[in-house]
Amino acid sequence: MTPYDRLRDRFARIATVGEASAMLGWDASAMMPPGGAAARGDQLAVLAGIAHGMLVEPAAAADLAEAEAAPPAAPWDAANLRLMRHAHTRATALPQALVEAQTRANSACEKIWRDARAASDFAAVAPALGEVVRLACEAAAALAPALGLSPYDALMDGYQRGIGAADVAPVFDAYETFLRRALPEAEALQASRPAPVRPEGPFPEAMQEALCRQLSARIGLDYSHARLDRSAHPFSGGTPTDVRITTRYDTADFTQSLLGVLHETGHALYERGLPEDFARQPVGEAAGMAAHESQSLIVEMQACRSDEFLAFLGPELAAAFGGDAAPYAPGNLARLWRRIGRGFIRVEADEMTYPAHVILRFRLEQALIAGDLAVADLPGAWNDGMRALLGIVPPDDRRGCLQDIHWYDGAFGYFPSYTLGAMAAAQLMAAARRAVPGLGAALARGDLAPLLGWLRANVHGKGSLLGFNDLLRAATGKPLDPLDFEAHLAARYLQ
Protein backbone atom coordinates (compact mmCIF):
# COMPACT_ATOMS: atom_id res chain seq x y z
CA MET A 1 0.00 0.00 0.00
CA THR A 2 1.16 3.52 -0.74
CA PRO A 3 1.17 6.13 2.04
CA TYR A 4 -2.00 7.62 0.53
CA ASP A 5 -3.66 4.19 0.47
CA ARG A 6 -2.83 3.76 4.14
CA LEU A 7 -4.31 7.16 4.88
CA ARG A 8 -7.51 6.26 3.05
CA ASP A 9 -7.78 3.15 5.17
CA ARG A 10 -7.09 5.09 8.36
CA PHE A 11 -9.68 7.76 7.58
CA ALA A 12 -12.26 5.14 6.66
CA ARG A 13 -11.79 3.57 10.10
CA ILE A 14 -12.01 6.97 11.80
CA ALA A 15 -15.20 7.73 9.86
CA THR A 16 -16.67 4.40 10.96
CA VAL A 17 -16.05 5.32 14.60
CA GLY A 18 -17.76 8.62 13.86
CA GLU A 19 -20.74 6.77 12.41
CA ALA A 20 -21.06 4.79 15.65
CA SER A 21 -21.01 8.05 17.60
CA ALA A 22 -23.65 9.50 15.28
CA MET A 23 -25.96 6.58 15.97
CA LEU A 24 -25.44 6.86 19.72
CA GLY A 25 -26.17 10.59 19.46
CA TRP A 26 -29.36 9.95 17.51
CA ASP A 27 -30.43 7.35 20.05
CA ALA A 28 -29.78 9.76 22.92
CA SER A 29 -32.22 12.25 21.40
CA ALA A 30 -34.83 9.87 20.03
CA MET A 31 -34.90 6.66 22.04
CA MET A 32 -32.67 6.57 25.12
CA PRO A 33 -34.29 6.57 28.58
CA PRO A 34 -33.14 9.40 30.88
CA GLY A 35 -31.23 6.97 33.09
CA GLY A 36 -28.80 6.20 30.29
CA ALA A 37 -27.45 9.75 30.04
CA ALA A 38 -24.33 9.37 32.18
CA ALA A 39 -23.21 6.15 30.51
CA ARG A 40 -23.95 7.61 27.08
CA GLY A 41 -21.70 10.56 27.84
CA ASP A 42 -18.88 8.13 28.70
CA GLN A 43 -19.50 6.11 25.54
CA LEU A 44 -19.36 9.17 23.30
CA ALA A 45 -16.28 10.49 25.06
CA VAL A 46 -14.40 7.20 24.65
CA LEU A 47 -15.31 7.00 20.96
CA ALA A 48 -14.22 10.61 20.44
CA GLY A 49 -10.94 9.77 22.15
CA ILE A 50 -10.43 6.68 19.98
CA ALA A 51 -11.05 8.61 16.76
CA HIS A 52 -8.76 11.41 17.91
CA GLY A 53 -6.04 8.93 18.88
CA MET A 54 -6.17 7.24 15.47
CA LEU A 55 -5.70 10.61 13.77
CA VAL A 56 -2.75 11.81 15.83
CA GLU A 57 -0.72 8.58 15.79
CA PRO A 58 2.87 9.15 14.54
CA ALA A 59 2.20 6.80 11.62
CA ALA A 60 -0.48 9.19 10.35
CA ALA A 61 1.95 12.11 10.36
CA ALA A 62 4.56 10.01 8.57
CA ASP A 63 2.13 8.89 5.88
CA LEU A 64 0.92 12.46 5.36
CA ALA A 65 4.46 13.72 4.86
CA GLU A 66 5.26 10.94 2.38
CA ALA A 67 2.01 11.33 0.46
CA GLU A 68 2.44 15.10 0.21
CA ALA A 69 5.96 14.65 -1.18
CA ALA A 70 4.39 12.92 -4.20
CA PRO A 71 0.70 13.85 -4.11
CA PRO A 72 -1.88 12.00 -6.21
CA ALA A 73 -2.61 13.57 -9.58
CA ALA A 74 -6.36 12.91 -9.64
CA PRO A 75 -8.22 16.04 -8.46
CA TRP A 76 -10.48 14.16 -6.05
CA ASP A 77 -7.57 12.35 -4.41
CA ALA A 78 -5.49 15.52 -4.27
CA ALA A 79 -8.37 17.32 -2.55
CA ASN A 80 -8.85 14.36 -0.22
CA LEU A 81 -5.21 14.54 0.82
CA ARG A 82 -5.48 18.28 1.53
CA LEU A 83 -8.54 17.67 3.70
CA MET A 84 -6.72 14.87 5.53
CA ARG A 85 -3.94 17.31 6.36
CA HIS A 86 -6.49 19.83 7.58
CA ALA A 87 -8.13 17.25 9.83
CA HIS A 88 -4.74 16.17 11.16
CA THR A 89 -3.76 19.78 11.90
CA ARG A 90 -6.95 20.31 13.89
CA ALA A 91 -6.58 17.04 15.77
CA THR A 92 -2.94 17.46 16.73
CA ALA A 93 -3.68 20.91 18.11
CA LEU A 94 -6.05 19.37 20.68
CA PRO A 95 -4.89 17.12 23.53
CA GLN A 96 -6.92 13.93 23.73
CA ALA A 97 -7.81 14.70 27.33
CA LEU A 98 -9.42 17.96 26.18
CA VAL A 99 -11.36 16.19 23.41
CA GLU A 100 -12.80 13.70 25.89
CA ALA A 101 -13.43 16.39 28.52
CA GLN A 102 -15.40 18.45 26.00
CA THR A 103 -17.48 15.47 24.96
CA ARG A 104 -18.36 14.64 28.56
CA ALA A 105 -19.08 18.25 29.51
CA ASN A 106 -21.23 18.82 26.41
CA SER A 107 -23.23 15.65 26.99
CA ALA A 108 -23.76 16.45 30.68
CA CYS A 109 -24.76 20.07 30.00
CA GLU A 110 -27.18 19.11 27.25
CA LYS A 111 -29.03 16.77 29.61
CA ILE A 112 -29.29 19.50 32.30
CA TRP A 113 -30.43 21.99 29.67
CA ARG A 114 -33.46 19.87 28.76
CA ASP A 115 -34.91 20.26 32.25
CA ALA A 116 -33.71 23.85 32.63
CA ARG A 117 -35.42 24.91 29.41
CA ALA A 118 -38.68 23.26 30.42
CA ALA A 119 -38.55 25.10 33.76
CA SER A 120 -37.20 28.34 32.26
CA ASP A 121 -34.41 28.11 34.85
CA PHE A 122 -31.16 29.44 33.42
CA ALA A 123 -29.48 29.33 36.82
CA ALA A 124 -29.87 25.54 36.87
CA VAL A 125 -27.73 25.08 33.78
CA ALA A 126 -25.41 28.09 34.08
CA PRO A 127 -22.59 26.23 35.92
CA ALA A 128 -22.57 23.42 33.36
CA LEU A 129 -22.67 25.93 30.50
CA GLY A 130 -19.80 27.79 32.11
CA GLU A 131 -17.72 24.61 31.92
CA VAL A 132 -18.72 24.04 28.30
CA VAL A 133 -17.71 27.60 27.41
CA ARG A 134 -14.43 27.28 29.34
CA LEU A 135 -13.48 24.14 27.43
CA ALA A 136 -14.59 25.65 24.11
CA CYS A 137 -12.33 28.63 24.78
CA GLU A 138 -9.46 26.29 25.64
CA ALA A 139 -9.99 24.37 22.40
CA ALA A 140 -10.28 27.59 20.38
CA ALA A 141 -7.04 28.91 21.87
CA ALA A 142 -5.28 25.66 20.94
CA LEU A 143 -6.66 25.53 17.41
CA ALA A 144 -6.10 29.18 16.51
CA PRO A 145 -2.29 29.17 16.09
CA ALA A 146 -2.30 25.78 14.38
CA LEU A 147 -4.79 26.98 11.76
CA GLY A 148 -3.57 30.57 11.56
CA LEU A 149 -6.99 31.85 12.58
CA SER A 150 -8.56 33.80 15.42
CA PRO A 151 -10.01 31.63 18.22
CA TYR A 152 -13.60 32.18 17.11
CA ASP A 153 -12.74 31.60 13.44
CA ALA A 154 -11.04 28.35 14.47
CA LEU A 155 -14.39 27.20 15.88
CA MET A 156 -16.24 28.35 12.76
CA ASP A 157 -13.75 26.35 10.70
CA GLY A 158 -15.08 23.19 12.31
CA TYR A 159 -18.48 23.80 10.68
CA GLN A 160 -17.73 25.64 7.44
CA ARG A 161 -14.15 25.78 6.24
CA GLY A 162 -12.95 28.99 4.65
CA ILE A 163 -15.61 31.25 6.16
CA GLY A 164 -14.69 33.49 9.10
CA ALA A 165 -16.27 36.23 11.17
CA ALA A 166 -14.80 38.91 8.90
CA ASP A 167 -16.66 37.35 5.97
CA VAL A 168 -19.93 37.00 7.86
CA ALA A 169 -20.13 40.28 9.78
CA PRO A 170 -20.56 42.61 6.77
CA VAL A 171 -23.14 40.25 5.24
CA PHE A 172 -25.10 40.27 8.49
CA ASP A 173 -24.74 44.04 8.94
CA ALA A 174 -26.09 44.60 5.43
CA TYR A 175 -28.99 42.25 6.08
CA GLU A 176 -29.84 44.09 9.31
CA THR A 177 -30.07 47.29 7.26
CA PHE A 178 -32.32 45.55 4.71
CA LEU A 179 -34.52 44.15 7.49
CA ARG A 180 -35.08 47.54 9.12
CA ARG A 181 -36.58 48.76 5.85
CA ALA A 182 -38.24 45.60 4.53
CA LEU A 183 -39.86 44.23 7.70
CA PRO A 184 -42.21 47.16 8.40
CA GLU A 185 -43.10 47.27 4.71
CA ALA A 186 -43.89 43.55 4.66
CA GLU A 187 -45.90 43.83 7.88
CA ALA A 188 -47.98 46.69 6.49
CA LEU A 189 -48.64 44.85 3.24
CA GLN A 190 -49.62 41.71 5.15
CA ALA A 191 -51.98 43.66 7.41
CA SER A 192 -53.80 45.03 4.35
CA ARG A 193 -54.68 41.53 3.15
CA PRO A 194 -57.05 38.87 4.50
CA ALA A 195 -55.69 36.88 7.41
CA PRO A 196 -55.18 33.16 6.75
CA VAL A 197 -57.63 30.60 8.06
CA ARG A 198 -56.06 27.92 10.23
CA PRO A 199 -57.14 24.33 9.55
CA GLU A 200 -59.09 22.97 12.49
CA GLY A 201 -57.87 19.85 14.24
CA PRO A 202 -57.41 17.68 15.99
CA PHE A 203 -54.81 16.06 13.75
CA PRO A 204 -53.98 12.62 15.18
CA GLU A 205 -50.27 11.98 15.48
CA ALA A 206 -50.48 8.71 13.54
CA MET A 207 -52.16 10.53 10.65
CA GLN A 208 -49.50 13.25 10.69
CA GLU A 209 -46.70 10.70 10.74
CA ALA A 210 -48.18 8.81 7.79
CA LEU A 211 -48.45 12.06 5.81
CA CYS A 212 -44.89 13.06 6.69
CA ARG A 213 -43.57 9.69 5.50
CA GLN A 214 -45.64 9.85 2.32
CA LEU A 215 -44.51 13.34 1.33
CA SER A 216 -40.85 12.87 2.26
CA ALA A 217 -40.80 9.69 0.15
CA ARG A 218 -42.50 11.52 -2.72
CA ILE A 219 -39.80 14.18 -2.82
CA GLY A 220 -37.04 11.58 -2.88
CA LEU A 221 -36.28 10.02 0.51
CA ASP A 222 -35.68 6.27 0.23
CA TYR A 223 -36.96 4.63 3.42
CA SER A 224 -34.87 1.54 2.82
CA HIS A 225 -32.02 3.84 3.88
CA ALA A 226 -33.89 6.12 6.29
CA ARG A 227 -35.99 6.33 9.44
CA LEU A 228 -38.46 8.90 10.74
CA ASP A 229 -38.67 9.19 14.53
CA ARG A 230 -39.58 11.71 17.22
CA SER A 231 -37.42 14.04 19.29
CA ALA A 232 -37.76 17.22 21.32
CA HIS A 233 -35.87 19.16 18.64
CA PRO A 234 -36.17 17.99 14.99
CA PHE A 235 -32.86 17.00 13.43
CA SER A 236 -31.22 14.86 10.77
CA GLY A 237 -28.48 12.42 11.73
CA GLY A 238 -27.16 8.95 11.11
CA THR A 239 -24.97 8.09 8.13
CA PRO A 240 -25.25 8.45 4.34
CA THR A 241 -26.62 4.92 4.00
CA ASP A 242 -28.73 5.05 7.18
CA VAL A 243 -30.11 8.56 7.60
CA ARG A 244 -32.24 9.36 10.63
CA ILE A 245 -34.67 12.26 10.64
CA THR A 246 -36.91 13.31 13.49
CA THR A 247 -39.82 15.65 14.09
CA ARG A 248 -42.33 16.47 16.82
CA TYR A 249 -46.11 16.40 16.67
CA ASP A 250 -48.84 18.75 17.89
CA THR A 251 -52.38 17.41 17.53
CA ALA A 252 -53.71 20.96 17.25
CA ASP A 253 -51.42 21.93 14.35
CA PHE A 254 -49.73 19.67 11.80
CA THR A 255 -47.62 22.49 10.38
CA GLN A 256 -44.61 22.00 12.62
CA SER A 257 -44.30 18.28 11.99
CA LEU A 258 -44.81 18.46 8.24
CA LEU A 259 -42.56 21.41 7.48
CA GLY A 260 -39.99 20.04 9.92
CA VAL A 261 -39.88 16.74 8.05
CA LEU A 262 -39.59 18.49 4.67
CA HIS A 263 -36.67 20.49 6.08
CA GLU A 264 -34.91 17.45 7.52
CA THR A 265 -35.56 15.54 4.30
CA GLY A 266 -33.49 18.16 2.50
CA HIS A 267 -30.59 17.35 4.82
CA ALA A 268 -31.15 13.62 4.35
CA LEU A 269 -31.23 13.87 0.55
CA TYR A 270 -27.86 15.65 0.64
CA GLU A 271 -26.34 12.85 2.70
CA ARG A 272 -27.85 10.22 0.41
CA GLY A 273 -26.40 11.97 -2.66
CA LEU A 274 -22.79 12.21 -1.49
CA PRO A 275 -20.22 10.52 -3.79
CA GLU A 276 -20.13 6.80 -3.03
CA ASP A 277 -16.61 6.38 -4.47
CA PHE A 278 -15.30 8.52 -1.62
CA ALA A 279 -17.55 7.28 1.17
CA ARG A 280 -15.89 7.61 4.60
CA GLN A 281 -13.26 9.93 3.15
CA PRO A 282 -12.98 13.65 3.94
CA VAL A 283 -13.62 14.67 0.33
CA GLY A 284 -16.73 12.49 0.26
CA GLU A 285 -18.37 14.38 3.13
CA ALA A 286 -20.78 17.30 2.84
CA ALA A 287 -19.15 20.62 2.00
CA GLY A 288 -19.91 22.11 5.42
CA MET A 289 -22.88 23.09 7.52
CA ALA A 290 -23.77 26.21 5.51
CA ALA A 291 -23.86 24.00 2.42
CA HIS A 292 -25.95 21.48 4.36
CA GLU A 293 -28.41 24.12 5.48
CA SER A 294 -28.78 25.32 1.90
CA GLN A 295 -30.03 21.87 0.99
CA SER A 296 -32.65 21.68 3.72
CA LEU A 297 -33.87 25.16 2.89
CA ILE A 298 -33.95 24.74 -0.88
CA VAL A 299 -36.35 21.84 -0.26
CA GLU A 300 -38.46 23.34 2.53
CA MET A 301 -38.49 27.08 1.83
CA GLN A 302 -37.64 27.44 -1.84
CA ALA A 303 -39.47 24.42 -3.28
CA CYS A 304 -42.14 23.20 -0.86
CA ARG A 305 -43.40 26.65 0.15
CA SER A 306 -43.47 27.87 -3.45
CA ASP A 307 -46.78 28.71 -5.10
CA GLU A 308 -46.30 25.81 -7.51
CA PHE A 309 -45.82 23.15 -4.86
CA LEU A 310 -48.62 24.49 -2.67
CA ALA A 311 -50.97 24.02 -5.64
CA PHE A 312 -50.13 20.32 -5.43
CA LEU A 313 -49.99 20.07 -1.64
CA GLY A 314 -53.31 21.75 -0.80
CA PRO A 315 -55.53 18.99 -2.25
CA GLU A 316 -53.28 16.34 -0.71
CA LEU A 317 -53.78 17.83 2.76
CA ALA A 318 -57.52 18.19 2.24
CA ALA A 319 -57.75 14.54 1.25
CA ALA A 320 -55.64 13.41 4.19
CA PHE A 321 -57.38 15.38 6.94
CA GLY A 322 -60.90 15.87 5.55
CA GLY A 323 -63.31 18.52 6.82
CA ASP A 324 -63.54 21.98 5.33
CA ALA A 325 -61.29 22.17 2.26
CA ALA A 326 -61.02 26.00 2.29
CA PRO A 327 -58.10 26.21 4.75
CA TYR A 328 -56.09 23.92 2.44
CA ALA A 329 -56.53 26.14 -0.61
CA PRO A 330 -53.06 27.00 -1.98
CA GLY A 331 -53.57 30.73 -1.48
CA ASN A 332 -54.54 30.25 2.13
CA LEU A 333 -51.59 27.92 2.76
CA ALA A 334 -49.30 30.55 1.25
CA ARG A 335 -50.64 33.23 3.63
CA LEU A 336 -50.43 30.79 6.55
CA TRP A 337 -46.94 29.41 5.96
CA ARG A 338 -45.37 32.59 4.63
CA ARG A 339 -46.59 34.88 7.38
CA ILE A 340 -44.25 37.57 8.71
CA GLY A 341 -44.09 38.08 12.47
CA ARG A 342 -41.69 39.22 15.15
CA GLY A 343 -41.39 36.21 17.43
CA PHE A 344 -39.10 34.96 20.16
CA ILE A 345 -38.38 31.45 18.86
CA ARG A 346 -35.81 30.93 16.11
CA VAL A 347 -37.17 27.62 14.81
CA GLU A 348 -40.65 29.15 14.45
CA ALA A 349 -39.46 32.34 12.74
CA ASP A 350 -40.42 33.29 9.20
CA GLU A 351 -37.66 33.45 6.62
CA MET A 352 -37.42 37.25 6.73
CA THR A 353 -36.91 37.59 10.50
CA TYR A 354 -35.01 34.30 10.95
CA PRO A 355 -31.62 35.88 10.10
CA ALA A 356 -32.09 38.36 12.96
CA HIS A 357 -32.14 35.41 15.38
CA VAL A 358 -28.90 34.13 13.85
CA ILE A 359 -27.26 37.56 13.90
CA LEU A 360 -27.99 37.80 17.64
CA ARG A 361 -26.42 34.41 18.35
CA PHE A 362 -23.41 35.16 16.13
CA ARG A 363 -22.65 38.32 18.08
CA LEU A 364 -23.23 36.78 21.50
CA GLU A 365 -21.12 33.68 20.93
CA GLN A 366 -18.24 35.79 19.64
CA ALA A 367 -18.40 37.73 22.91
CA LEU A 368 -18.53 34.51 24.96
CA ILE A 369 -15.47 33.03 23.24
CA ALA A 370 -13.56 36.32 23.44
CA GLY A 371 -14.27 36.53 27.17
CA ASP A 372 -16.19 39.76 26.74
CA LEU A 373 -19.47 38.25 27.98
CA ALA A 374 -19.80 36.21 31.16
CA VAL A 375 -22.16 33.24 31.12
CA ALA A 376 -24.09 34.76 34.01
CA ASP A 377 -24.81 37.85 31.90
CA LEU A 378 -26.07 35.91 28.89
CA PRO A 379 -29.83 36.28 29.58
CA GLY A 380 -29.62 40.06 29.84
CA ALA A 381 -27.41 40.38 26.77
CA TRP A 382 -29.82 38.16 24.85
CA ASN A 383 -32.81 40.30 25.76
CA ASP A 384 -30.98 43.51 24.86
CA GLY A 385 -30.03 42.04 21.48
CA MET A 386 -33.58 40.95 20.70
CA ARG A 387 -34.85 44.42 21.56
CA ALA A 388 -32.29 46.01 19.23
CA LEU A 389 -32.88 43.65 16.30
CA LEU A 390 -36.62 42.97 16.41
CA GLY A 391 -38.00 45.36 19.01
CA ILE A 392 -39.25 42.59 21.29
CA VAL A 393 -38.05 41.12 24.62
CA PRO A 394 -38.64 37.48 25.63
CA PRO A 395 -40.84 37.19 28.73
CA ASP A 396 -38.69 34.35 30.11
CA ASP A 397 -35.44 32.53 29.40
CA ARG A 398 -37.22 29.50 27.94
CA ARG A 399 -38.14 31.75 25.05
CA GLY A 400 -34.80 33.51 25.26
CA CYS A 401 -31.32 32.12 25.76
CA LEU A 402 -32.50 28.63 26.72
CA GLN A 403 -34.37 27.88 23.50
CA ASP A 404 -31.54 26.34 21.43
CA ILE A 405 -29.53 23.21 22.16
CA HIS A 406 -26.38 24.35 20.36
CA TRP A 407 -24.38 26.18 23.03
CA TYR A 408 -25.38 23.70 25.72
CA ASP A 409 -24.00 20.95 23.47
CA GLY A 410 -20.78 22.87 22.79
CA ALA A 411 -21.56 23.99 19.21
CA PHE A 412 -19.97 27.44 19.02
CA GLY A 413 -19.41 28.84 15.53
CA TYR A 414 -22.33 26.90 14.06
CA PHE A 415 -25.12 29.50 13.98
CA PRO A 416 -23.84 31.58 11.02
CA SER A 417 -24.32 28.49 8.82
CA TYR A 418 -28.10 28.81 9.09
CA THR A 419 -28.34 32.19 7.40
CA LEU A 420 -25.46 31.60 5.00
CA GLY A 421 -27.37 28.46 4.01
CA ALA A 422 -30.62 30.37 3.51
CA MET A 423 -28.84 32.85 1.27
CA ALA A 424 -27.16 30.05 -0.69
CA ALA A 425 -30.50 28.24 -1.08
CA ALA A 426 -32.05 31.29 -2.76
CA GLN A 427 -29.03 31.62 -5.04
CA LEU A 428 -29.09 27.92 -5.96
CA MET A 429 -32.84 27.91 -6.59
CA ALA A 430 -32.56 30.90 -8.91
CA ALA A 431 -29.85 29.06 -10.84
CA ALA A 432 -31.87 25.84 -10.95
CA ARG A 433 -34.90 27.66 -12.33
CA ARG A 434 -32.71 29.09 -15.09
CA ALA A 435 -31.07 25.75 -15.86
CA VAL A 436 -33.94 23.23 -15.58
CA PRO A 437 -36.74 23.58 -18.16
CA GLY A 438 -40.19 23.04 -16.69
CA LEU A 439 -39.03 23.11 -13.07
CA GLY A 440 -42.04 25.14 -11.95
CA ALA A 441 -44.45 22.78 -13.71
CA ALA A 442 -42.78 19.81 -12.03
CA LEU A 443 -43.17 21.41 -8.60
CA ALA A 444 -46.84 21.95 -9.33
CA ARG A 445 -47.13 18.17 -9.79
CA GLY A 446 -45.37 17.57 -6.49
CA ASP A 447 -42.35 16.32 -8.44
CA LEU A 448 -38.97 17.37 -7.06
CA ALA A 449 -37.04 14.93 -9.24
CA PRO A 450 -35.84 17.60 -11.73
CA LEU A 451 -34.63 19.83 -8.88
CA LEU A 452 -33.05 16.88 -7.07
CA GLY A 453 -31.26 15.81 -10.25
CA TRP A 454 -29.77 19.29 -10.64
CA LEU A 455 -28.71 19.32 -6.99
CA ARG A 456 -27.17 15.84 -7.30
CA ALA A 457 -25.02 17.08 -10.18
CA ASN A 458 -24.12 20.50 -8.81
CA VAL A 459 -24.03 20.10 -5.02
CA HIS A 460 -24.51 16.62 -3.57
CA GLY A 461 -22.18 14.74 -5.89
CA LYS A 462 -19.39 17.27 -5.35
CA GLY A 463 -18.87 16.23 -1.71
CA SER A 464 -16.14 18.44 -0.24
CA LEU A 465 -14.22 18.75 -3.49
CA LEU A 466 -14.92 22.49 -3.43
CA GLY A 467 -15.18 25.06 -0.66
CA PHE A 468 -18.44 26.87 0.02
CA ASN A 469 -17.93 29.82 -2.31
CA ASP A 470 -16.28 27.72 -5.03
CA LEU A 471 -19.21 25.31 -4.88
CA LEU A 472 -21.63 28.19 -5.39
CA ARG A 473 -19.46 29.65 -8.14
CA ALA A 474 -19.44 26.35 -10.03
CA ALA A 475 -23.21 25.90 -9.65
CA THR A 476 -24.43 29.48 -10.11
CA GLY A 477 -21.58 31.40 -11.72
CA LYS A 478 -20.73 33.50 -8.67
CA PRO A 479 -19.78 33.19 -4.98
CA LEU A 480 -22.34 33.84 -2.27
CA ASP A 481 -24.47 36.81 -3.27
CA PRO A 482 -26.84 37.92 -0.46
CA LEU A 483 -28.76 40.05 -2.95
CA ASP A 484 -30.32 36.89 -4.38
CA PHE A 485 -31.84 36.19 -0.97
CA GLU A 486 -33.10 39.74 -0.64
CA ALA A 487 -34.62 39.50 -4.13
CA HIS A 488 -36.36 36.26 -3.14
CA LEU A 489 -37.79 37.88 -0.01
CA ALA A 490 -38.91 40.96 -1.94
CA ALA A 491 -40.70 38.83 -4.52
CA ARG A 492 -42.44 36.73 -1.87
CA TYR A 493 -43.28 39.35 0.79
CA LEU A 494 -43.12 42.84 -0.72
CA GLN A 495 -45.40 42.46 -3.74
What residues form DSSP beta bridges with 236?
245
The answer to whether the CB of 458 falls within 8 A of the CB of 474 is: yes
Strand partners, 246: 229
Query: How far apart are alpha carbons 210 and 213 in whole angstroms?
Result: 5
Q: In angstroms, rounded to a whole number, what is the distance separating the alpha carbons of residues 195 and 495?
A: 16
Q: Is 57 one of the catalytic residues? A: no
Query: Distance between CA atoms of 222 and 219, rounded to whole angstroms?
Result: 9
d(CA 481, CA 487): 11
Instruction: Indicate which residue of 264, 293, 308, 486 is catalytic.
Output: 264
Distance CA 340, CA 318 (A): 24
Q: Hey, which residues does 250 pair with through a beta bridge? A: 253
CA pair distance 245, 271, nearest whole angstrom: 12
Pair type for strands 226-230 and 236-239: unpaired
Q: Could you tell me which residues come within 8 angstroms of residue 230 by beta carbon, excluding any fewer than 6 positions away?
A: 30, 246, 247, 248, 249
| Partners of 230 in beta bridges | 247
Q: What residues contact residue 271 under an 8 Å CB cut-off, 6+ apart?
A: 236, 238, 239, 240, 243, 286
CB atoms inside a 10 Å sphere around CB 166: 9
**Active-site annotation, residues:** 264
